[in-house]
Amino acid sequence: MQKAYLILENGTIFEGQSFGASGEAIGEIVFTTSMTGYVETLTDPSYYGQIVVQTFPLIGNYGVMSEDVQSSKIQVKAYIVREWCQEPSNFRCEGDLDTFLKQNNIIGLCGIDTRQLTRIVREYGVMNGKIVAEGFGFSFDDLKNYTIVDAVKNTTCDKEYTLPAEGEKKRKVVLYDFGTKISIAKQLTARGCEVVVVPAHTKIERVFELQPDGIMLSNGPGDPAENVEIIAELKKLIGKNIPTFAICLGHQLYALAHGAKTEKLKYGHRGANQPVTDTETGRVYISSQNHGYAVINDSLGDYAKVSFVNANDGTCEGIKYLKEKAFSVQFHPEACGGPKDPGFLFDRFMDMIDADKKGV
């Protein structure tokens, strides 16, 4: 195996081995604590522009399967693991991790101390990193100047399309694609929804023309405040009383449309084992999360209240809008974080739509 190096913005250098595609890659270094779900991680558009580090030491042992992919391609800039398995064993396996990375031209790095790397990111915060293979030169200038821009623009769909409901069509939902995971649409179609997916910069007037029973605002990558035009469109949705459910970036964008503020977290929340507390019942759920920004709790006005908080740091994980038929969550209820995972939120959205159709 060829030697390769990870150079961090703070000057730290790790030596490891290259796998996947060869070459070099620059990105924002983030870590995820998930023990499984690496196929979903690699293909989640929310990781656009980032070099992802898996804290779990062995990755690739159950292979790659097309049923688990969340978009049309791998979205990460590069991938770092402690040890990768080239001989997977699972009845669903359709391929191996190394080949999957090569097919998507994604650079992998293994054989480094991912625990030490994670501790550095936790201590110093998210920083840029660069992976270079042995023999390649590198410069700290391009490393320090790297920023993620036009993230939503580069991950949203090109044109509007429709997904049919499974079985009888009961509802029609417009899904704003800010870099959506396929599993969000699957949760809706499985509940009898015809889903019309629209690009991120679709004018709200077009959404009204479609006459949806509900509107879904998807997850996505990047700094939410960067999306000024999208936020302006979502402001037009306020007061229309169309049942609305927002996840992750959609949650942040809808809050910004109301005048709330967001902040960048020191190292974000990424993993399938993040605890969130329901502020009304006190019940804690285990959730899947992938975000580097959060809505500032006390920036909400009297139009809304915080419905979920992160049990580790108290940051906003959900909002209930008091004067609208709308709610949002920062985490991913479609990702099945546990046996009692918050998938019920999609049922809550269906109940909201059905009540609205009855005029309740």
CA-nearest of 311, 314, 281, 283 to 296 is 314
Whether the predicted pLDDT of 186 surpasses 70? yes
Do 135 and 283 belong to one domain? no
* 135 plus 183 within the same structural domain: no
pLDDT given at position 134: 83
Lowest mean pLDDT among 17-21, 135-139, 276-280, 337-341: 337-341
Is the pLDDT score of 238 beyond 70?
A: yes
Torsion of CA 120, 81, 61, 288, to 10 degrees: 50
pLDDT at position 214, please?
98
State the SS3 of 314-344: CCEEEEEECCCCEEEECCEHHHCCCCCCCCH
pLDDT at 133: 87
Which structural domain, as residue segments, surrounds residue 106? 3-145
**Per the domain annotation, does 150 fall within a domain?**
no
Same domain, 111 and 207: no
Both 224 and 341 in one domain: the answer is yes
Q: Are residues 126 and 30 in the same domain?
A: yes
What per-residue confidence (pLDDT) applies to 144? Answer: 84
d(CA 30, CA 246) in angstroms, rounded, equals: 24
Same domain, 233 and 352: yes
Q: What is the number of structural domains in the chain?
A: 2
**CATH number for position 81:** 3.50.30.20
Does an H or E element contain 135, and which? Answer: none
Q: Are residues 205 and 87 in the same domain?
A: no
Phi then psi for 303, rounded to 5 degrees?
A: -80, -10
**Residue 306 CB neighbour total at 10 angstroms:** 17
At 181, list the tokens: 């995971």
Q: How far apart, in whole angstroms, are the C-alpha atoms of residue 229 and residue 134?
A: 43
Crossing angle (nearest 10°) for helices 228-235 and 249-257:
60
Q: Residue 152: which of 115, 178, 121, 186 has the closest Cα? A: 178
Confidence bin at 343 (pLDDT 50/70/90)? confident
pLDDT digits (tens, 9 = 90+) for 241-268: 999 999 999 999 999 999 999 999 999 9
Domain contains 252:
yes
pLDDT (tens digit, 9 = 90+) per residue, 349-360? 999 999 998 876
Other Cβ atoms within 10 Å of 282 Cβ, number: 7
Contact 133, 110 (CB under 8 A): no
* pLDDT reported for residue 247: 98
Residue 160 predicted with pLDDT over 80: yes
For residue 276, what is the domain's CATH number? 3.40.50.880
Compute how many other C-beta atoms are within 10 angstroms of the C-beta atom of residue 354: 15
> 37 near 158, Cβ under 8 Å?
no
Whether 10 and 110 share a structural domain: yes
What residues contact residue 355 under an 8 Å CB cut-off, 6+ apart? none
Average pLDDT over residues 145-152: 93
Last residue of a domain, one of 114, 145, 176: 145
What secondary structure does DSSP assign to 17-66, as a single string? EEEEB-SEEEEEEEEE--SS-HHHHHH-GGGTTEEEEE-SSEE-TT-B-G
Catalytic residue annotation: 248, 332, 334
Query: What is the number of residues in the chain?
Result: 360
Claim to verify: residue 57 and residue 178 sit in the same structural domain: no
Average pLDDT, the chain: 94
Same domain, 103 and 138: yes
If asked whether residues 21 and 100 sit together in one domain, one would say: yes
Q: What is the pLDDT of residue 340?
A: 57
Q: Which residues lie below 8 Å from residue 12, measured CB to CB, with a gap of 6+?
A: 120
pLDDT at 181 over 80: yes
> pLDDT by residue (tens digit) across 191-212?
999 999 999 999 999 999 999 9
d(C-alpha 291, C-alpha 222), whole Å: 9
339 vs 313, which has greater pLDDT?
313
Residue 336 above 80 pLDDT?
no
Backbone angles phi, psi at 319, to 5 degrees: -135, 135
Residue 194 lies in a domain: yes
SS3 16: strand
C-beta separation of 114 from 34 below 8 A: no
pLDDT over threshold 90, residue 95: yes
Please give the pLDDT value at position 141. 75
Q: Is residue 96 part of a domain?
A: yes
| Residue 92 falls inside a structural domain | yes
Dump pLDDT digits (tens) for 300-326: 999 999 999 999 999 999 999 999 999
Structure confidence at residue 346 (pLDDT) = 96
Q: What is the mean pLDDT of residues 148-167?
A: 96
Which segment of 71-85, 128-142, 273-287, 296-310 scores lowest on mean pLDDT? Answer: 128-142
- So what's the pLDDT on residue 342? 58
Same domain, 215 and 282: yes
Helix, strand or coil, per DSSP, at residue 199 = strand
> What confidence score (pLDDT) does residue 287 get?
92
Residue 154 lies in a domain: no
Residue 140 has pLDDT above 90, yes or no: no
